[in-house]
Amino acid sequence: MKLSFRWYGSSDPVKLEYIKQIPTMHSIVTAIYDVPVGQVWEMDKILNLKNEVEKAGLKFEVIESVPVHEDIKLGLPSRDIYIENYKKNIENLAKAGVKVICYNFMPVFDWTRSQLDKQLEDGSTALVYYKDQVDKLDPLNSELSLPGWDSSYTKEEMAQLFEKYKELGEEGLWKNLEYFLKEIIPVAEINDMKMAIHPDDPPWPIFGLPRIITNESNLDRFLNLVDSKYNGLTLCTGSLGCANFNNIPNLVDKYSAMGRIHFMHVRNVKLLNDGVSFEESAHYSGCGSLDIVKIMKVLHKNKFDGYLRPDHGRMIWGETGKPGYGLYDRALGASYITGIWETLEKLDK
């Protein structure tokens, strides 16, 4: 296991030197954020970022993420231009020593929550998804802004996107994902770059938009679209685990045994009684609905040697900044995870 940590660049209040102080920290997970989606990341930008990370004594081996342009997801005639740019990004990142690219194929929105700063019983704040709040939201309201949403669209553009995806449907989205994979995976193979798709978060349709990377049968279907070790998963325990139809230890066991998990996001969620709503919680198994010890045990059993990062954390001890991405709770999560791993290692001897 290679422990890693998400970092949002020089403007991130979490400093690289603080991340380095977390025991066994191996690498930084980051990206270039000032290049428009679909455009080529120039080598000088990539190398500047690499140098900044390596100067802090950390590895530059995972990018999260290289976003997929909406025209690719929709299968528009312009998609081939953006796919060629994507291939160039794979090549450029490989030249810089990157080993894994995390990406997603979610229409319009990435991860969606209804509230950023819900105060939990212990006084910390966390990201939550409450069904009653989501049901009241109008995604075509130009004033609406929630985490994971691209706020650059106008109300009119958003309405057009919704209509296009309604016409496309799930099978159309699958078809466009297959087209994309068949174009990029051969480039990934040549460049020894492992592509790791992130599951949809949450793993069900949002506002009628299709979502397809959601459950075991769909993960199987995805991996079979291009049966290559370079076509793999970012298995996010929280994204898949907020749906009670997903058995996370079983999924982790199955896909790590196959060698198709290239990147693990480990976090916990507390599922609520309505079967849809959930709260993000501390990583510790007793705080949420997921058994993190069991998850780590199956990774260890299958000799997982890929990258793993503690994912969204609570905001604790008065820390401010990007919700879910404070230093303190993610550092606690990292220590909890490595403590489990060390125990498993020693029990093996």
Residue 146 has pLDDT above 60, yes or no: no
82, 103, 198, 253: which is the annotated catalytic residue? 198
Q: Which of 71, 200, 253, 311 is catalytic?
A: 311
Distances (CA, A) of 98 to 31, 144, 196, 249, 260: 11, 36, 13, 28, 18
Choose between 148 and 291: higher pLDDT. Answer: 291
Cα separation of 340 and 296, whole Å? Answer: 7
| Catalytic pick among 69, 262, 283, 312 | 312
pLDDT value, residue 112: 85
Residue of 278 and 115 predicted with greater confidence = 278
* pLDDT (tens digit per residue) in 24-40: 999 999 999 999 999 99
Report how far residue 145's alpha carbon sits from residue 150's, in angstroms, rounded to the nearest whole number. Answer: 8
103, 129, 165, 236: the active-site residue: 236
Nearest Cα residue to 306 out of 224, 251, 232: 232
Tell me the average pLDDT across 143-154: 60
pLDDT exceeds 60 at position 143: no
Q: Which pLDDT band holds residue 130 (cuts at 50, 70, 90)?
A: very high
pLDDT for residue 116: 87
Is 312 an annotated catalytic residue? yes
Residue 142 binned pLDDT confidence (cut-offs 50, 70, 90): low
Taking phi over 0 as left and psi of -120 to 50 as alpha, with beta for the rest, 306 belongs to beta
The terminus-to-terminus CA distance of the chain in angstroms comes to 17
Reported confidence tier of residue 150, pLDDT bands at 50, 70, 90: low
List pLDDT tens digits, range 248-279.
999 999 999 999 999 999 999 999 999 899 99
For 294-322, what is each residue's pLDDT tens digit? 999 999 999 999 999 999 999 999 999 99
pTM of the shown model = 0.95
pLDDT (0 to 100) of residue 151:
59
Residue 208 clears pLDDT 90, i.e. is over it: no
Nearest to 101 by CA among 37, 194, 227, 2: 194
Lowest mean pLDDT among 76-80, 110-114, 154-158, 186-190: 154-158
Q: Which of 262, 265, 283, 300 is catalytic?
A: 265
Q: What are 223's two structure tokens?
A: 């991996």
**262 labelled catalytic:** no
122 in catalytic set: no
* Phi/psi of residue 224, nearest 5 degrees: -85, -10
pLDDT band at 110 (very low <50, low <70, confident <90, very high): confident
**pLDDT at residue 144, as a whole number:** 56
The whole-angstrom separation of Cα 167 and Cα 68 is: 20
Domains for the chain: give ranges and CATH numbers: 2-347 (3.20.20.150)
**Average pLDDT, stretch 201-228?**
95
Q: Which of 57-71, 134-148, 254-268 has the lowest mean pLDDT?
A: 134-148
pLDDT at 149: 59
The reported pLDDT for the residue numbered 24 is: 97
Annotated active-site residue in 82, 230, 307, 325 = 325
Mean pLDDT of 10-17: 95
Q: Is the pLDDT of residue 206 over 90?
A: no
Q: Is the pLDDT of residue 245 over 70?
A: yes
**Mean pLDDT in residue range 123-152:** 76
pLDDT for the residue numbered 111: 81
Is the pLDDT assigned to residue 81 strictly greater than 80? Answer: yes
69 has catalytic annotation: no
- 1 pLDDT exceeds 60? yes
Q: Does residue 145 register a pLDDT over 70?
A: no
Taking all residues of the chain, what is their mean pLDDT, rounded to a whole number?
A: 94
pLDDT at 39: 97
* CA–CA distance, 151 with 109 (Å, rounded to integer): 10
> How much is the pLDDT for 46?
98
- Say whether 265 is catalytic: yes
